[in-house]
Structure 1
C-alpha cells in the first residue's frame, strides 16, 4: 500500500503539471483558483472529472514526468503531493 496524500488538495498535484511551485496555499479553494489559470473550466464534479480532455492536457508533452520530478523535489514543504510515488510504482511494474 502506498499513501499518496496531497496538501492542500489533489489540485496541487494537478497544478504541478503546469507550474513549478511549492508556495503555501491558504486552502484548497486557493489551490483550485491557481489551477484554473491552466484549466479554466476545471470543476470538482463527477461530470467534469469523467471527461478526458483535462487529463489529456495534463499528460501532453512531458508534463507528467515534470510533475513527478517537482513533487519529489518539494516533498515535506508547505504544499506537497506524494502521488508521484504511485506513478513511479505503476511505471516500474509495466
Structure 2
C-alpha cells in the first residue's frame, strides 16, 4: 500500500503514537482528555474518530482539550499547512 501511494505521488502521514485516547472504544471523556493532554508535544498529530458505534465521547473531550491547548499557546493547523511550514523551516506548532 505504501509503495502504491509513493508511485501515485502521495505522501504517507502517520499520527503521534504516544496518545492513548482509545476514543473509538468510548473509554470516557476523562480518559480521552488525559490521553492527549498527558503527553502533548509540539508538532504532534492526534488521531481521533468522529464516528463510533453509539454516542461519541470525542466531541465532549475536544470541548476540554482545545481550549486547554489554546491556553497553553498551541495552535492548530492542517497537515498540509504543517508540511508547508516544515518545508519552510518554520516551527510547525509554536508554544
Does the alignment reach a TM-score above 0.5? no
The structure whose Rg is larger is 2
Using the size of structure 2 for normalisation, the TM-score is 0.29
